[in-house]
Amino acid sequence: MAQDVIAKLNNCGVSAQKVRLVINLVRGKPVNAALNILKFTNKISAEPIYKLIASAAANAEENYGLDRNEMYVQSIFCDEAATRRWRYFGARGRFKPVLRRSSHITVVLRERE
């Protein structure tokens, strides 16, 4: 039976739509390849995803004794988090709404059998 290692990042300051563009690049890839892809991806959401996968891999090595070279990204997904609503004032007494979206990211690493 393969051991699953789960890591979560709550309230990431990037919208879920932007994060999903990057997590689709690494889904199903080996951990080392996924980290290499994220290191050279020119998107703002690549850095928190890189840190999350690296943290999950380090936890798997330290707590469960798994080998980083044998692990892969079994599942990674992103959900919407709370939206901060902000505004600035416009012409004729109106105000313009600004939505600051955030997201929750979850990664599941598994060791190859």
Q: pLDDT at position 1, please? A: 52
pLDDT tens readout for residues 33-81: 999 999 999 999 999 999 999 999 999 999 999 999 999 999 999 999 9
Tokens 């959900």: give the residue: 79
58-83 burial string, b = 16+ CB within 10 Å, else e?
eebeeeeebebeebbbbebebeebee
Domains observed in the chain: 4-111 (3.90.470.10)
Task: Give which of 7, 80, 85 is closest to 48, Cα–Cα.
Answer: 7
Three-state secondary structure call for residue 98: strand
On whether the pTM is more than 0.85, the answer is: yes
- Contact between 104 and 78 (Cβ < 8 Å): yes
Whether the predicted pLDDT of 100 surpasses 90: yes
